[in-house]
Structure 1
Amino acid sequence: MALDTAKKSQIIAKFARKSGDTGSTEVQIALLTARISELTEHLKINKKDFSSRLGLLKLVGQRKRLLRYLKATKYDTYAKVVSELGLRDK
C-alpha cells in the first residue's frame, strides 16, 4: 500500500517549505493523508484485512499527533494545511 514515487514527489513538491524539504511537518501530514486515503479504499474492498486496519489506526494517530504539534507551534500553517487537505478541524 505504499505510494508510488511520482505521487509522493508531487505531494512533497506541493507542501515543501523549500526545495529538498522532505521531512517538515506539513509534508509528513500530507504524505500520511495520502496513505490513509489509499488504505481506506483498500479496506472498503477487503473488509477482513485486520492487520491493515491496525496499520491504518496507527497512521491516523501519527497524523493526529503531527497536527496537534503544528497547531501548537504554527497555527497559520496548520490552518492552511487543514484546508488544502480537506481535513476536519475539531
Structure 2
Amino acid sequence: MYLTKEIKGDIFTKHGGNIANTGSAEGQIALFTFRISHLTEHLKRNRKDYNTERSLVLLVGKRRRLLDYLKKKDINRYREIIKELGIRK
C-alpha cells in the first residue's frame, strides 16, 4: 500500500508537531496533499478511472475547506503550510 503507518507518522511528525497529533489542521492538510499527489499520478496512467477522479475532487474540496479554516483562524500558519507544501491558490 502506498500510505503505510511509517509514512503517516513522518507526515504528522513533520507538519503536526508529533506522531500523536493527527487532528491538527497542518497535519491533515499535509496528508491530503500526499494523497492528492498519489491519485493525480494514478489518473495520469488511468484516464478513464472515474471513481478515482471523483475521489480526487472530493479530497481537494476537503483540503480547501481546511485551508479556509486555517486562514480564518491564523493567517501565519496558513501561509507557512502553503509555502511548505507548495500549494498554490
TM-score range, shorter chain: over 0.9
Question: Gaps (5+ residues) in structure 2?
Answer: none
> TM-score scaled by structure 1?
0.92
> In structure 1, what is the Cα distance between the partners aligned to 2:75 and 2:30?
16
Percent of aligned pairs sharing the same letter: 47
Give, in angstroms, the shift of residue 52 of structure 1.
Answer: 0.4
Instruction: Tell me the SS of whatever aligns to 2:59.
Output: helix
Give the count of matched residue pairs. 89
Q: List structure 1 runs of 4+ shifted beyond 3 angstroms.
A: none
CA distance in 2, matches of 1:9, 1:49: 29
Give the CA deviation at 1:8.
1.1
Q: RCO higher in 1 or 2 (8 Å CA, sep ≥ 6)?
A: 1
The answer for unaligned runs of 5 or more in structure 1 is: none
Higher alpha-carbon deviation: 3-12 or 34-43: 3-12
TM-score (normalizing by structure 2): 0.93
What is the aligned partner in structure 1 of residue 34 from structure 2?
34
RMSD: 1.4
Query: What does residue range 1-90 of structure 1 map to in structure 2 within 5 Å?
Result: 3-18=3-18, 20-89=20-89
Amino acid at match of 1:47: R
Offset, 1:17:
3.4
